[in-house]
Amino acid sequence: MARAAKVIALHSFDDDEALMYLSDVGRVEMALSDLAQQFGWTLTKLRRSLSAWVKAGHITQASGGRGKVVVTSMRTSQQVAAQLVNCAFRMEIPNQSASPKPVRSLISMMTSIVLFATAVGLTGVGLVMNARFASSFGQTVEAAVLLATIGLAVDLLAVILPTVGVQLLQRRAFLAAGAAWTIWVAALGMTLLAATGFASTNIGDAVAGRAKVAGESAALTDRIGRLRSERVGISETRSIAAIEVDLQRAQPEAQAVWRATNGCRDVTRMTSGRACEKVLELREALATAERRDGLDVELRTAEGKLATLPAIALADPQATTAAEILAWLSAGAFKPAPGDISRLRALGLALTPSMAGLLAMMAISLSQARRS
């Protein structure tokens, strides 16, 4: 088509109106400044729109003579109008080839925060535990510091290397990732040894202390039971002083045989026995009363000592009760010993701080945006 006459728009065109105008005219050859004035646009906006339309395949742009440009529409006005109506009223299907936008779930973010906080707490516990246990082997201050430093380094490797290994795998650095996981396994083994030693030492000392108290409590309870049983068998109710008074009164009755029987202690004849009978009965009652008072003193002492001891019946109630529950649940088919439960507990306490690295890795994975 021939060059369109220069028409000054009554208002500034929008993009759709300008594109419709070019499709109606078909071919325009004029200076860019004149075309911008005709559209009511700035020169910058015109150049940007022409460039976008060329990329979209709506027009072609070529240089003309005397500083002019030649703009040729590739579509008729009916085609452009149909496309504009279609874009305005139909729901466009998302482009599957376009890169999806990252989506973050609130639950995932909250879970990752909790996991990461747990990993940090376990890391602190593991660092202190391993450093203290490693330093306990040092014979000097310098050796203790060096061993504690090694323990800290090993524990840090056990925490960091899982995340490093995953990141290297994502970057397809398989050799470096394999090395990271290998070092992590070695560091995890060292950390487990240190944590197991720390847990078993402290738990063993606590269980031994409880066993000592429980044994002492059981011994005192048994002794109190024996003393009470013996005390119940004593029927003498008179005091020692009263018996001694009665004994003083009975001694003159045995004066005839007192010297011959060595004060009624060596009675060999029947006549001497009858003369010393009252004295002998009172001496026996006196011994019984003394034993009675002695038992009362021992009972008060034992009961007072038992009252000061903690109420501990079992050295390791957790292991004992867990073993009993497992045996009950399995109807006697599975009867673990309390020692097996205590070993499993020590392993769990040692393994939990060592899992801080895996927890941190999972927290970081959850915090990363997933693709919709």
pLDDT of amino acid 96: 47
pLDDT of amino acid 89: 54
Residues of the chain with pLDDT under 50: 1-2, 4-5, 91-98, 371-372
DSSP 3-state of 20:
helix
Q: Give per-residue pLDDT as tens, 141-193.
A: 888 888 888 888 888 888 888 888 888 888 888 899 899 999 989 988 888 88
From the list 73, 72, 69, 71, the residue with the least C-alpha distance to 32 is 69
Beta bridge pairs of residue 3: none
From the list 140, 192, 241, 236, the residue with the least C-alpha distance to 351 is 192
Q: Exposure of 97 by Cβ count < 10 A (0-12 exposed, 13-18 middle, 19+ buried)?
A: exposed
Q: What stretch of H or E contains 371?
A: strand 370-371
